[in-house]
């Protein structure tokens, strides 16, 4: 009840779309009973968590922050949610996001923007954005309302808000954590992400949700070996080869972020790690290709929302065609409609090779850049976001496309390649906002990735 009371008190940050109070109270009672007889289900029994509102939760509204799904109540649970509640965790609520997870700010939600609690001033209309699209998940953890939250990460949506809110944010290897029940954005890049305050907390949640799921055809079949906390604490960084990719020194990278990046690299070197400058020549093309592939998959994924089978239905009876069109134009916001339109343009027979196929070819080159770099280094250290959290009023001056082109520069290559990446807070900027760095590793290198994160933490 303390947690729920806190969630109410902190409503001003707009972290939640739905609070699941009744369920939470019921589950808390059951959990108390289990503790009384000393039989908790797991270390997560009774622990408050939050889940982004694009994961299906049976009998609980799942809106994707869109009018299109404003009354959608799924009949089944996403696997990540199912595994967490089976472990005894208590869902406090479904969190705010950019509509259908398309964005980097949590500014495009029908529920209004999620606000960053850092430097928040109640008497000032302007505030720092939480980042996105999993901004609500980040705020629910950063304010101490929940122990952990689940986000989704297609191009950086878990790491971006984690970076702006000063949290640990993990994007696991593609296929390690089931996508079943996660409403798709880009099927070939989506992964559920984890937001926590510390690396240890992240490991506990990852151990609970990772592993093969027959309900997700892209789920990795290799059995998941739980990461043991002591092994995370024991990393010897002596001779650990860490790469600094030249191409991540990009335009618009904030001086303070660059300084922090250099400082941490120096610190690792002083403690025995081997720091190497590496080159990943195709990095600069990644963001445009990500954007093309994103829009193509969006065009296909959003086709299901026609107002007939499910989704918002407009009052329109002139013709079925008109009903589709009006439902879709009223149900989706401009960002979603734009992406559908652009995606369909790229997919036209005459454009298919020029855009979609070409972007796929470049995607292979991005993967190749990573594969080559792993021959020389074990992990990569980069910024997560180019700046600290922007102010809301500055951020919304830009179009969604420009916001993403800037904010996702360092995060989306990991999604293009499917590799794991973690962001962690390092220190506060001169404005008092968190500055974070990202570590990337090869597929399934989560144990080493998190061990280095823990070392730096």
- Binding letters toward ligand GLN, positions 185-204, x by CB under 6 A: x-------------------
* Residue 263 token pair: 């400082």
Q: Are 413 and 283 in contact (CB under 8 A)?
A: yes
Query: Which residues are CB-neighbours of 219 under 8 A, at least 6 positions away?
Result: 175, 178, 179, 180, 212, 213
Q: If you write DSSP's letter for every residue of 203-254 in order, what string do you get?
A: HHHHHHHBS--TT-TTS--SPPPPPPHHHHHT---TT-EEEEEGGGS-TT--
- Counting contacts by CB under 6 A, is residue 102 touching ligand GLN? yes
Q: For residue 434, list its beta bridge partners.
A: 428
Q: How far is the CB of 348 from ligand GLN (least distance, A)?
A: 21
- Counting contacts by CB under 6 A, is residue 161 touching ligand GLN? no
Q: How far is the CB of 180 from ligand GLN (least distance, A)?
A: 17
Q: How far is the CB of 335 from ligand GLN (least distance, A)?
A: 8
Q: Where do the DSSP E strands lie in 154-205?
A: 168-171, 191-196
Provide φ and ψ at 186, rounded to 5°: -130, 100
User: Is 157 annotated in the active site?
Assistant: yes
* Residue 433 token pair: 């906002």
One of 31, 66, 133, 178 is an active-site residue; which one?
Answer: 133
| Residues between 129 and 148 with contacts to ligand GLN, criterion CB under 6 A | 133
User: Is 133 annotated in the active site?
Assistant: yes
From the list 31-39, 101-109, 257-265, 315-323, the region that binds ligand GLN by CB under 6 A is: 101-109
- Count interface residues toward ligand GLN (CB under 6 A): 15
- Counting contacts by CB under 6 A, is residue 245 touching ligand GLN? no
Query: Which residues are CB-neighbours of 49 under 8 A, at least 6 positions away?
Result: 84, 89, 90, 91, 92, 146, 147, 148, 149, 150, 205
The DSSP output letter for 356 is I
Q: Are 189 and 416 in contact (CB under 8 A)?
A: yes
Q: How far is the CB of 88 from ligand GLN (least distance, A)?
A: 29
Q: Are 76 and 33 in contact (CB under 8 A)?
A: no
- Counting contacts by CB under 6 A, is residue 153 touching ligand GLN? yes
- Counting contacts by CB under 6 A, is residue 101 touching ligand GLN? yes
| Residues between 340 and 359 with contacts to ligand GLN, criterion CB under 6 A | none
Q: How far is the CB of 299 from ligand GLN (least distance, A)?
A: 13
Q: How far is the CB of 369 from ligand GLN (least distance, A)?
A: 20
Cα–Cα distances (Å) from 201 to 141, 267, 394, in that order, read 11, 24, 34
- Counting contacts by CB under 6 A, is residue 19 touching ligand GLN? no
User: Is 291 annotated in the active site?
Assistant: no
- Binding letters toward ligand GLN, positions 259-298, x by CB under 6 A: -----------------------------------x----
The Cα–Cα gap between 436 and 363 comes to 26
Q: Among residues 434, 386, 390, which one has the least CA distance to residue 410?
A: 386
- Counting contacts by CB under 6 A, is residue 420 touching ligand GLN? no
- Counting contacts by CB under 6 A, is residue 157 touching ligand GLN? yes
Which active-site residues does the annotation give? 52, 133, 157
Residues that bind ligand GLN (CB under 6 A): 101-104, 133, 152-157, 185, 294, 404, 408
């Amino acid at each position: 009840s303390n947690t729920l009371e806190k969630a109410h008190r902190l409503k001003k940050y707009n972290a939640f779309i739905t609070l699941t109070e009744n369920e939470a109270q019921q589950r808390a009672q059951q959990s108390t009973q289990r503790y009384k007889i000393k039989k908790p289900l797991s270390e997560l029994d009774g622990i408050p968590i939050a889940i982004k509102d694009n994961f299906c939760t049976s009998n609980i509204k799942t809106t994707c922050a869109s009018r299109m799904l404003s009354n959608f109540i799924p009949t089944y649970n996403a696997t990540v949610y199912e595994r967490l509640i089976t472990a005894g965790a208590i869902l406090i609520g479904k969190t705010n996001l950019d509509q259908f997870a398309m964005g980097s700010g949590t500014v495009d939600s029908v529920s209004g923007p999620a606000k960053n609690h850092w430097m928040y001033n109640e008497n000032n209309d302007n505030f720092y954005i939480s980042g996105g699209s999993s901004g609500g998940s980040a705020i629910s953890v950063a304010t101490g309302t929940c122990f952990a939250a689940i986000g989704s990460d297609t191009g950086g949506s878990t790491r971006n808000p984690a970076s702006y809110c000063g949290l640990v944010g993990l994007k696991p290897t593609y296929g390690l954590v089931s996508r079943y029940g996660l409403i798709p954005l880009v099927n070939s890049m989506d992964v559920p992400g984890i937001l926590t305050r510390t690396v240890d907390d992240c490991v506990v949640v990852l151990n609970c949700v990772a592993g093969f799921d027959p309900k997700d055809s892209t789920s990795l079949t290799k059995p998941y070996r739980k990461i043991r906390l002591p092994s995370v604490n024991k990393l010897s960084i002596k001779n650990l080869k860490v790469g600094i990719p030249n191409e991540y020194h990009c335009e618009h990278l904030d001086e303070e972020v660059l300084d922090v990046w250099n400082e941490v690299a120096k610190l690792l070197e002083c403690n025995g790690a081997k720091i190497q400058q590496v080159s990943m020549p195709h990095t600069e093309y990644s963001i445009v290709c990500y954007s093309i592939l994103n829009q193509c998959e969006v065009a296909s994924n959003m086709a299901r929302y026609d107002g007939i089978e499910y989704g918002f239905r407009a009052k329109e009876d002139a013709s079925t065609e008109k009903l589709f069109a009006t439902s879709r134009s009223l149900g989706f916001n401009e960002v979603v409609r734009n992406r559908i339109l652009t995606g369909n343009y790229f997919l036209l027979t005459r454009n298919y090779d020029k855009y979609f196929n070409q972007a796929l070819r470049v995607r292979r080159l991005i993967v190749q850049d990573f594969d080559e770099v792993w021959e020389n280094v074990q992990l990569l250290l980069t910024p997560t976001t180019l700046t600290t959290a922007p102010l809301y009023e500055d951020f919304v001056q830009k179009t969604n496309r420009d916001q993403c082109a800037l904010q996702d520069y360092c995060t989306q290559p990991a999604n293009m390649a499917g590799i794991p990446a973690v962001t962690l807070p390092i220190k506060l900027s001169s404005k008092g906002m968190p500055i974070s760095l990202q570590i990337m590793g090869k597929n399934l290198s989560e144990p080493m990735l998190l061990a280095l994160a823990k070392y730096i933490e």
